[in-house]
A and B are shown apart, each in its own frame.
Chain A
Amino acid sequence: MVIQVFYRFFIYPDIKLSLISILLLFSSGLSAEDKPHAPENIEGARIVSAEEAIDLILNTPDLIVIDARKKTEFVKGHIEGAINMLNTKMQRDDLEKVAADKSGPILFYCNGTRCMRSADAIKKAKKWGYTNLIWFRGGWKEWTDKRLPVVTD
């Protein structure tokens, strides 16, 4: 073990560089930790997993699915039946057009747990009087990691 460490440090400069790179990566990871996460929960919104989201989609005919990501991201792939509505551009009227019934179920998602867009959109919807809000907090990352069907335009 000691010999290996010795060689890795003194014989293989490449390995030494690799270790330095790992350290740098680790330090960059620390800075990534500082990046805010999406909140653990949002008052008035129910959090669901990918499987629960599918159940809702399949079993709730009047469910509205809102994709709060950018258009470019949406085009590359999205959940079947989702409507693209970027949180920053989402207006009350826009939402009311697709979800006139404020007590009807609306599912929001964005890129994942580090993405604040869907949380922001839910807060807006809640503010506008929507009461049956569902938050797929894991978002697109959880969906694709589980290799669930996606729709590409």
Chain B
Amino acid sequence: MIGAIAVILSLLAGSYFRQAALNAQMDSLSRVIEVASQEMLKEVRRHTFDLGMKLGHSKELIHAVKTVEENGGHKQLVELLDDPFVNGFVGFSSIDLEKIRIYSLQLELIAQSSAGTEALDGQLSDHMAELVRKRRHTERLKAVDALWISTEGPQFSTLVPLGGLRPTGYLEIIVNPVFNLPDIGKITQTPVNIFSMAGIQISDDDQEITDNYLPVEFTLLASDGQPAFRVVGYEDVDKLNRKMEETQIITISGFLLLSLSTLLGALWLFNRFLFTPLSKMVADMEQVSHGKLDLTVNNKGLREFHVLADAFNSMSDQVRMRTNDLERLLDMGDSAIMCFDHDKEAVYVNKATTRLLGYSNDEFADLDLADLFTDDITQLMMHSAVADSSGQKRLHTSLTCKHKDGHEFQITAVINCIDVMGQSGYAIALDTASDNQAKMSGQSEQRLDAVEQSLSSLLEFARNNPRLMSGAGNIGLHEPMGETQKILTREQAVNVMGLALACWEHDLGKSKLELAEESKIWPVYIDKSTPTTRTLDKYLKLDSCPKNPRNQRVIDTAEFVLRIMSNRTTVGRKKLQDALDAFRLLLSGMKSAGK
């Protein structure tokens, strides 16, 4: 933008300077032509004066004038006046002699040469006559020169006294100035064309006039102020144009270079002090948001970034502290605390729970209330009308838990209805220290209250930053998803799992249990001394499939089966591959829609 403005300004300035230069050039040439014209006339005047002085002191001519009245005197006088036309004179080739006339002291025509032009009217020009009449005494001895307009066009005359200091009359030398006009071009050393005031070209320069020549007009005035000739000189402005272009190119290049360097400098500064620190800060923030709370965000750069990064670091410190406090609180003591969402799936378990029930965190992800308790928690809560002081439902009861190894045991529990991401869920605290309900009422109940109060914020935080919750790392909370999407995902997950198992059983001839054991993706449970694949089984039917299926497990299973059958090409394998691709496409579409 700056560069474009600079270029436009430069072009405007260049145009302005060029016009100013041309005007100055025209003024200059006009003055030169004027001076050259005066020089040309001065040269003509010198020749006419010399001729006039020579004839004016001619004793023969003076005598002839004195005896003009005598018989044959006029003829003799005319012959004498014709002599310069016939025999020439010094400077004959320098002027175009038109006429020589003799006047009395009263400026009456006595005689004129018969040679030369005959078109002139035989009168001294009014302007010259007036000048002479105005003069007194010795002033009348001075020669008079004039460029005057005759009926035949402009003429130049010099009037000198005949007889020197003791004049008997006046002698006029008339020449045609057109003859000398080309000298103007020789003096100015430029092509010159001369036109009469009627527009007729009188003199043409041989030099070719190209577009590079700038015409400059000058009007040569007669002595009485009337315009006599129009002189057109041509100034070669090619050099000027070239210089101007050169200057313009240099100026524009300079401006562009300056603009470019300024732009590069600005970009460098932006990059150094804005983009790079911002990029580093964003990268650090992303890492922090992905759970690396111990990372300190880079605070180098502009003051504003420094303040922003410090604020973020302070905030993440507080989050880390709060999270640690919450985790410590939940893991404190022997009470097993677990949380289930609206779909009855486990969303959080503490360490005591994993110890009590024998499942790992990862395994809890696939479990729901029915997998862990023989009692129907929902029914229990519906039938209980117990409400605490805040109006929330709370039930003290004894629950029958299912251990991973298959055995069942009774344990006292406190069940709370809680809000999990806007929907109703359950928080269950199991007293692992004793089955005595009386003992449960004390410290554990207070802790559960504290847990309940903090759980909402913890779950909210876990929802926004699922990876931050180390204790519940594998029990991710699901993003809210549309019902249609959920159904599609579940259907496709069941389809993929069914095809994978079909390939496994038919093409490889292996059992479902072997799939769970070999893939190590699905847990194997022992129910009454019999190994079962409860979790895997759920994914084989649509009605038992979790509402939020673990999609990555489904994909891993399909890929495992495909990998094992890599050297086989069967219809089942093809179907599995297509179903897996479709499932991935569905998930990627959902992710991009979620974004």
Contact A150 B165 (CB under 8 A): no
| Of the residues A50, A54, A149, contact of B57 by C-beta under 8 Å | A149
Q: How far is the CB of A103 from chain B (nearest CB, A)?
A: 25
Contact B53 A11 (CB under 8 A): no
Q: How far is the CB of A70 from chain B (nearest CB, A)?
A: 20
* Interface-facing stretch out of B20-28, B123-131, B293-301, B467-475: B20-28
Residues of chain B within 8 A of A81, CB atoms compared: 165
Residues of chain A within 8 A of B28, CB atoms compared: 15
Q: A124-150 interface mask toward B, CB cutoff 8 Å, 1 = contact, 0 = none?
A: 000000000000000000000011111
> Among residues 48 to 98 in chain B, which have CB atoms less than 8 Å away from a CB atom of chain A?
49-50, 53-54, 56-57
Measured in the bound complex, the distance between the Cα atoms of B343 and A72 in whole Å is 138
Q: For residue B90, which residue of chain A has the nearest CB?
A: A152
Q: B351-392 interface mask toward A, CB cutoff 8 Å, 1 = contact, 0 = none?
A: 000000000000000000000000000000000000000000
* Interface-facing stretch out of A1-9, A23-31, A39-47, A89-97: A1-9
- CB of B240 closer than 8 Å to a CB of A: yes
- CB of B160 closer than 8 Å to a CB of A: yes
Residues of chain B within 8 A of A149, CB atoms compared: 53, 56-57, 141, 143, 160-161, 164-165
| Of the residues A3, A11, A12, A55, contact of B138 by C-beta under 8 Å | A55
Q: How far is the CB of A59 from chain B (nearest CB, A)?
A: 11
Contact B17 A147 (CB under 8 A): no
Measured in the bound complex, the distance between the Cα atoms of B21 and A4 in whole Å is 7
- CB of B575 closer than 8 Å to a CB of A: no
- CB of B510 closer than 8 Å to a CB of A: no
Contact B53 A151 (CB under 8 A): yes
- CB of A99 closer than 8 Å to a CB of B: no
Contact A7 B24 (CB under 8 A): yes
Residues of chain B within 8 A of A50, CB atoms compared: 138
Residues of chain A within 8 A of B164, CB atoms compared: 80, 149, 151
Measured in the bound complex, the distance between the Cα atoms of B247 and A150 in whole Å is 58
Contact A11 B56 (CB under 8 A): no
- CB of B166 closer than 8 Å to a CB of A: yes
Residues of chain A within 8 A of B161, CB atoms compared: 149
- CB of B342 closer than 8 Å to a CB of A: no
> Among residues 71 to 97 in chain A, which have CB atoms less than 8 Å away from a CB atom of chain B?
77, 80-81
- CB of A57 closer than 8 Å to a CB of B: yes
Measured in the bound complex, the distance between the Cα atoms of B80 and A129 in whole Å is 48
Residues of chain A within 8 A of B17, CB atoms compared: 3, 7
Contact A4 B56 (CB under 8 A): no
Q: A3-B20, A7-B20, A80-B165 are in contact. Are A152 and B138 (CB under 8 A)?
A: no
Contact A54 B138 (CB under 8 A): yes
| Of the residues B57, B142, B145, contact of A151 by C-beta under 8 Å | B57
Residues of chain B within 8 A of A4, CB atoms compared: 20, 24
- CB of A58 closer than 8 Å to a CB of B: yes
Contact A54 B53 (CB under 8 A): no
Q: How far is the CB of A32 from chain B (nearest CB, A)?
A: 22
Measured in the bound complex, the distance between the Cα atoms of B141 and A55 in whole Å is 11
> Among residues 84 to 127 in chain B, which have CB atoms less than 8 Å away from a CB atom of chain A?
none
- CB of B243 closer than 8 Å to a CB of A: yes
Measured in the bound complex, the distance between the Cα atoms of B165 and A77 in whole Å is 14
Contact B141 A54 (CB under 8 A): yes
Contact A147 B143 (CB under 8 A): yes
Measured in the bound complex, the distance between the Cα atoms of B160 and A108 in whole Å is 25
Contact B142 A148 (CB under 8 A): yes
- CB of A51 closer than 8 Å to a CB of B: yes
Residues of chain B within 8 A of A3, CB atoms compared: 17, 20-21, 24
Contact B24 A147 (CB under 8 A): no
Contact B21 A51 (CB under 8 A): no
Q: For residue B160, which residue of chain A has the nearest CB?
A: A149
Q: How far is the CB of A80 from chain B (nearest CB, A)?
A: 5
Q: A4-B20, A147-B49, A151-B53 are in contact. Are A11 and B243 (CB under 8 A)?
A: yes
| Of the residues B24, B50, B137, B165, contact of A152 by C-beta under 8 Å | B50
Measured in the bound complex, the distance between the Cα atoms of B165 and A54 in whole Å is 7
Residues of chain B within 8 A of A77, CB atoms compared: 53
Measured in the bound complex, the distance between the Cα atoms of B247 and A147 in whole Å is 52
Q: How far is the CB of B25 from chain A (nearest CB, A)?
A: 8
Q: A11-B243, A54-B138, A147-B142 are in contact. Are A152 and B21 (CB under 8 A)?
A: no
Contact A57 B165 (CB under 8 A): yes
Residues of chain A within 8 A of B137, CB atoms compared: 51
Contact A7 B21 (CB under 8 A): yes
Measured in the bound complex, the distance between the Cα atoms of B56 and A4 in whole Å is 51
Measured in the bound complex, the distance between the Cα atoms of B21 and A12 in whole Å is 9
Measured in the bound complex, the distance between the Cα atoms of B140 and A51 in whole Å is 11
Q: For residue B163, which residue of chain A has the nearest CB?
A: A149
Measured in the bound complex, the distance between the Cα atoms of B164 and A150 in whole Å is 7
Measured in the bound complex, the distance between the Cα atoms of B56 and A77 in whole Å is 13
Contact A152 B20 (CB under 8 A): no
Residues of chain B within 8 A of A8, CB atoms compared: 24
Q: How far is the CB of A53 from chain B (nearest CB, A)?
A: 9
Q: How far is the CB of A120 from chain B (nearest CB, A)?
A: 26
Residues of chain B within 8 A of A151, CB atoms compared: 53, 57, 164
Residues of chain A within 8 A of B142, CB atoms compared: 146-148
Q: How far is the CB of B235 from chain A (nearest CB, A)?
A: 11
Q: For residue A53, which residue of chain B has the nearest CB?
A: B138
Residues of chain A within 8 A of B21, CB atoms compared: 3, 7, 11
Q: How far is the CB of B148 from chain A (nearest CB, A)?
A: 17
Q: How far is the CB of A54 from chain B (nearest CB, A)?
A: 5
Residues of chain A within 8 A of B244, CB atoms compared: 11
> Among residues 126 to 159 in chain B, which have CB atoms less than 8 Å away from a CB atom of chain A?
137-139, 141-143, 145
Measured in the bound complex, the distance between the Cα atoms of B164 and A35 in whole Å is 34
Q: B18-40 interface mask toward A, CB cutoff 8 Å, 1 = contact, 0 = none?
A: 00110011001000000000000
Residues of chain A within 8 A of B25, CB atoms compared: 12
Can you report 14 residue pairs joining A to B where beta carbons are below 8 Å apart? A3-B21, A7-B17, A7-B20, A7-B21, A11-B21, A51-B138, A55-B138, A77-B53, A146-B142, A147-B49, A147-B145, A148-B138, A149-B143, A149-B165
Interface residues of B (CB under 8 A from A): 17, 20-21, 24-25, 28, 49-50, 53-54, 56-57, 137-139, 141-143, 145, 160-161, 164-166, 240, 243-244, 247
Starting from the known contacts A3-B20, A3-B24, A152-B50, 17 additional A-B residue pairs (CB-CB under 8 Å) come to A4-B24, A7-B20, A8-B24, A11-B243, A15-B28, A58-B165, A58-B166, A81-B165, A147-B142, A147-B145, A149-B56, A149-B141, A149-B160, A150-B53, A151-B57, A151-B164, A152-B53
Listed from nearest, the 4 A-B pairs whose CB atoms lie closest are A147-B143, A149-B164, A54-B138, A7-B21
